[in-house]
Structure 1
Amino acid sequence: MPNKIKILIVDDHQLILEGILSYLKDIPHLEIETANSCDEAFSKIKTCLQNNPFQIVFTDLSFDNADENSLIDSGESFIKMLQKEEIPIKIGVITGHSETNRVYSVIHNLNPSAYILKGNCDTAELNFAIQKMLANEVYYTHEIHQKILKRALVEIQMDDVAIQILKELPKHAKIGNMEGIITKSDGSLLKIRAIENKLAKLRADLQAINNTDLVLKAKELGILD
């Protein structure tokens, strides 16, 4: 009989934990434990490290039960702590957070082995993710994968002038007011015609119908706060 895969699920909502457990129960050879807080999860992982370590941890990102007494108050902090301590465990995210900014930040800065949206996951997806993680591969649910690809494509198209224009755009009622503000790499100022041409290209690249829509698309992609 194959060795069991020991997994820890971390979420502060009991119903969510029960839902994830209901999917995992149909996957053979799993030994599953749960934790309701990052502090509890970190303690469990450390306690079991020598004799019966966890191989995989799935954590949410937000914890409503974190307070001033919590040592670790978010999934991001929890992941950072595990990485700082160099604990040999595969880290996956199961969360409801699909905002491009947060997704990009987590994946770019923390590099989890999996990013799964809790509202859409099922037994097949979790099983696939676990197998990928154990094989030292990465799994992102389809929506997350698409967001990362789109963000990467946009970043390739972006330059410093484009970022300046997008940041200034919401501040001005007229495009002409931006003349004398946007600078090129050599320090010279961009003329109004060049700004308008750049805006037209940005609208086409981001499939925006107008400048207001362009700003919204830039925020959605995490280019603007």
Structure 2
Amino acid sequence: MFTKVLVAEDYEIANQGIIKVIQEGLGIQNIHESKYCDDAYLKFRKAFQENEPFELLITDLSFKEDHKVQIRTSGIDLIQDIRKIQPNINVIVYSQESRPDKINMLFQKLDINGYVCKGQNAVRELVSCVQGVFRGDTVLPPEVTEASTDNIVNLDDFDIMLLEELSQGLTKKEIVQKLKKLKITPNSESTIDKKLSKLFDDFKAKNTTHLVAIVKDLGLL
């Protein structure tokens, strides 16, 4: 079982609840906590530099703003920055977010190892999730496994790249020029049109601005 865990959760009661669950349910005693993403990152970096790295990160997605200015304001920021230093760290997201599409996007974009939705069965599911991740499994929550596949959008690398360029304000022609310059194929304007048409349908977006807003809300950008 994991021996060193970092918990990032801004509500102290929830933080203590997570710690109690994994201590009593899994026997893990070396647990560090933080209410801020920046503080969690500093604890992680210090442990890594001292050659005593964390094996598991359990983090919420959203953190309440207060007087303390933060560089990292979300669990997504925290995961991305930690993974830049320790790509193989195991990550479990523990959040109120229950939309299957957004949860699925987190697995696709951030390559997280497990997800638990806060709620009635959260304690049991968190213990099971940690156990599964320790075994090397990717642990999807019921919100995803029980959802209709028709309601879950799967994006490939080209889709993600296209969305990122659109979010920067590039036009279709500018994107085509950039693809050709980078020698990325396919790179025709008709291909971009087809991709955009599918993305509009998948996300039920009215226009490009609406599409970018939706995918940002889903945590894709």
Q: Sort the TM-score into its range (normalised by shorter chain).
A: 0.5 to 0.7
Aligned to 1:22: 20
Aligned to 2:110: 110
Aligned to 1:174: none
8 Å CA contact 1:67–1:73 kept in 2: the answer is no
Count matched residues.
Answer: 168
In 1, Cα distance between equivalents of 2:61 and 2:102? 10
8 Å CA contact 1:4–1:29 kept in 2: the answer is no
The structure number with the bigger radius of gyration is 1
In 1, Cα distance between equivalents of 2:122 and 2:205? 40
In 1, Cα distance between equivalents of 2:66 and 2:72? 8
In 1, Cα distance between equivalents of 2:18 and 2:97? 16
Q: Judging changes above 3 Å, is the alpha-carbon distance between structure 1 residues 15 and 104 closer, same or farther for their aligned structure 2 residues?
A: same
Letter in 2 for 1:126: L
8 Å CA contact 2:8–2:37 kept in 1: the answer is yes
In 2, Cα distance between equivalents of 1:161 and 1:82? 33
SS at match of 1:58: strand
SS at match of 2:92: strand
Question: Normalized against structure 1, the TM-score is what?
Answer: 0.62
Letter in 1 for 2:23: K
Residue 5 of structure 1: how far off its partner (Å) = 1.6
Structure 1 stretches (4+) deviating beyond 6 angstroms? Answer: none
Letter in 2 for 1:129: C
In 1, Cα distance between equivalents of 2:3 and 2:99? 31
Q: Over aligned residues, Cα RMSD in angstroms?
A: 3.4
1:91 matches 2:97: no
Letter in 1 for 2:6: L
Letter in 1 for 2:44: I
In 2, Cα distance between equivalents of 1:161 and 1:96? 29
SS at match of 1:47: helix
Select between 101-110 and 72-81 the one with higher mean Cα deviation: 101-110
Aligned to 1:45: 44
Q: Judging changes above 3 Å, is the alpha-carbon distance between structure 1 residues 121 and 57 closer, same or farther for their aligned structure 2 residues?
A: farther
Higher percent of residues as helix: 2
8 Å CA contact 1:8–1:34 kept in 2: the answer is yes
Q: Judging changes above 3 Å, is the alpha-carbon distance between structure 1 residues 121 and 20 closer, same or farther for their aligned structure 2 residues?
A: farther
Note the residue ranges of structure 2 that are not aligned, 5 or more in a row.
156-194, 207-217
In 2, Cα distance between equivalents of 1:140 and 1:70? 30
Structure 1 vs Structure 2: percent identity of aligned residues? 20
8 Å CA contact 1:97–1:117 kept in 2: the answer is yes
In 1, Cα distance between equivalents of 2:62 and 2:75? 6
8 Å CA contact 1:92–1:114 kept in 2: the answer is yes
1:46-195 superposed matches below 5 A: 46-49=45-48, 50-65=50-65, 69-147=69-147, 149-152=149-152, 160=197, 163=200, 167=205
Letter in 1 for 2:45: K
Aligned to 2:161: none
Select between 146-155 and 33-42 the one with higher mean Cα deviation: 146-155
Question: Normalized against structure 2, the TM-score is what?
Answer: 0.63
